[in-house]
Amino acid sequence: MHAEILSIGTELLLGEITDTNAQYISSRLRDIGVNVYRRITVGDNPGRLLSAFEDSIQRADVVIATGGLGPTDDDVTARCLALALKRNLSFDENAWDSMRKLFIERRWTSTGSDRKQAYIIDGGFFIPNHVGTAPGQGIMIDGKLALLLPGPPSEMKPMFENYVIPLIREHFPSLAPIHYVNLNIAGLGEARVAEALADLLGCPNPTVAPYAGAGQVRLRIAAHGCDKGEALAMISKVEKEVRRRLGHHVYGKNEETLEMALGTLLGRIGLTLAVAESVTGGLICHRLTEVPGSSKYFKMGMVAYSPKVKIANLGVPPEVVYRDQSVNEEAAGSMAESVRLLAGTDLGLATTGFAGPEGGTRDEPLGTVYIGLSHKKAGISIHKLIYPSSRPRAKAYAAQRALYVLYRFLVEHYGKRR
C-alpha cells in the first residue's frame, strides 16, 4: 500500500515558506506502515491542481493534501478534488456547527465567506479542526482514501494524529508498521560507509540506507515483520554487524548527538575538558553545554579569535601566531595545551583555521583547519582537515570533526561505552 502527498499553495513554490507538513506526514505514515511514493507541490491553480488530484488518485491508495481550505477565492482544494472525483460539494451542517462553536469560544465574528469552508464533497465526511476555522474532510471511494487538511502545521498535526491515523488504520487494517533504528556515524563519508556495507544495502528486509549530513552519516535500518519483536530482532542482527564493521565510527543511535555521546564517555571515565576555539567561534562550547549535566566535565571555553589574545591569554608564541595567520599545527597544539593548563583539566581541545570566504595562504589554503588535542599523560596530537565550503558549513564541519577527534581518542584510550 502506498500514499502520495500534495502540498498546495503558491507560497510554497515561491519559497516563501518551508513545507514542513510533507516531512511530518511522511514520517508518521512510515511509522504506521504506509509507503510514500510521491510528494508533489502545486500552486493555487485550479487546472494544475485538478490534474494533480486525478493523477494521484489513479496511482495511490491514500492521497493526503494540505493547504487551500480557507475562505478566500484562491482556496480551491476541495473544489478541485470534487471535480477529480466527478462529485459535487454540499453544505454540511455538522462542519458549520463545529466552526461556529470555535467562533463563539474565541469571540470571533464570522463572515459569509466562512461558510465556504463547510462545503464537503458528496459522500465524504468532515474532519474537526479544534485549532483553526477550516475543517478538514475526506472521502473513501473505490477502496481509496482521499484526505484534505489545512496548511498551518499547528492545525494539521493534531488533526492528523487524532483523526487521520485512526482513519487509515480503520480502512486498511492489515498495515504492518515499519520499525527502524538510525545509527549515527562520524569520521567516514557516505561513500566509505556504503563501500563497507555494500552487501547489506541491497537487502529488502531489513533495508539499510546511508544519508549524508554535516560531518556525519545517518544509517537507517528498517524492518517489518509479523510483530514488533520479529522486526526488532532483524534490526538488532544487522546493527551488530554494522557496528562490527565500522567500530568506533558508530557513536550513537537515533537522536543521540556526538556531544551527548561524549558526555556519557567523559562522565563514565571521570575526565574534565577545556576548549579553545578560533575558527569555530564557540560552536564546540555551545554544543557541549547543550547537554544537561555538562558542567561536571566541561570546565572552560575560550574563543581566542584575535592574534593578541592567542599570545597574551593562551601563551602561544608570537612566531607561531603570525605564521600563516595562526593556521598551523603548532598553533593548534599550543592552544590545546595552554587551555588545558589554564583550566586545570585532563583534556584540552582547540581549533584554528580558515572558514572563508576570504583568507588562506599558499601553504594553508582556504578551508584548512587544524584541531589540537592535549591530554595530561598522552601528550598533544594534531589533526588536519581541508573543507572549502560556505563559512557556516565550514565552521559546522570543523566543530563536528573536533568533537569526533575527542570521541575517538577517548574510545581508543579508555574503551567503548558500557
- Residues with Cβ within 8 Å of 295's Cβ and at least 6 positions away in sequence, in order, are none
Say which CATH number the domain at 75 has: 3.40.980.10
Kindly state whether residues 155 and 186 are assigned to the same domain. Answer: no
138 and 193, same domain (yes or no): no
Both 293 and 198 in one domain: the answer is: no
Question: What residues are paired with 121 via a beta bridge?
Answer: 89
3-state class (DSSP) for residue 309: helix
pLDDT digits (tens, 9 = 90+) for 183-207: 999 999 999 999 999 999 989 999 9
Cα 93 from Cα 87, distance rounded (Å)? 19
Beta strands in 116-193 (DSSP E): 119-121, 125-127, 136-141, 144-149, 179-186
Count of C-beta atoms within a 10 Å radius of residue 140: 15
The reply to whether 327 and 404 lie within a common domain is yes
Are residues 71 and 163 both part of a single domain? yes
Q: What is the pTM of this model?
A: 0.79
The ranges of the chain with pLDDT < 50 are 418
- The cell numbers describing 99, all together, are 466552526
Q: Are residues 22 and 163 in the same domain?
A: yes
Contacts for 79-85 with beta carbons within 8 Å, 24 or more apart? 79/46, 80/46, 80/49, 80/50, 80/53, 81/53, 81/121, 81/139, 81/146, 81/148, 82/121, 82/122, 83/50, 83/53, 84/50, 84/53, 84/54, 84/57, 85/57, 85/121, 85/139, 85/141, 85/146
Q: Burial level of 369, CB count in 10 A (0-12/13-18/19+)?
A: buried
Domain CATH for 306: 3.90.950.20
Give the domain range for residue 213: 179-253
Same domain for 48 and 138, yes or no, is: yes
Q: Are residues 318 and 402 in the same domain?
A: yes
Strand partners, 383: 371
User: Can you give the pLDDT at residue 108?
Assistant: 79
pLDDT at 80: 97
Q: Answer with the one of 171, 204, 238 that is the final residue of a domain.
A: 171
Instruction: Using the 3D structure, point to which of 124, 155, 171 is the last residue of a domain.
Output: 171
- What is the predicted pLDDT for the residue at 416? 66
Do both 27 and 156 map to the same domain? yes
Domain boundary among 122, 148, 171: 171
- Shared-domain flag, residues 216 and 294: no
Query: Phi and psi of 40, rounded to 5°?
Result: -125, 135
Measure the CA–CA gap between 67 and 332, rounded to whole angstroms: 52
> How many domains in the chain?
3
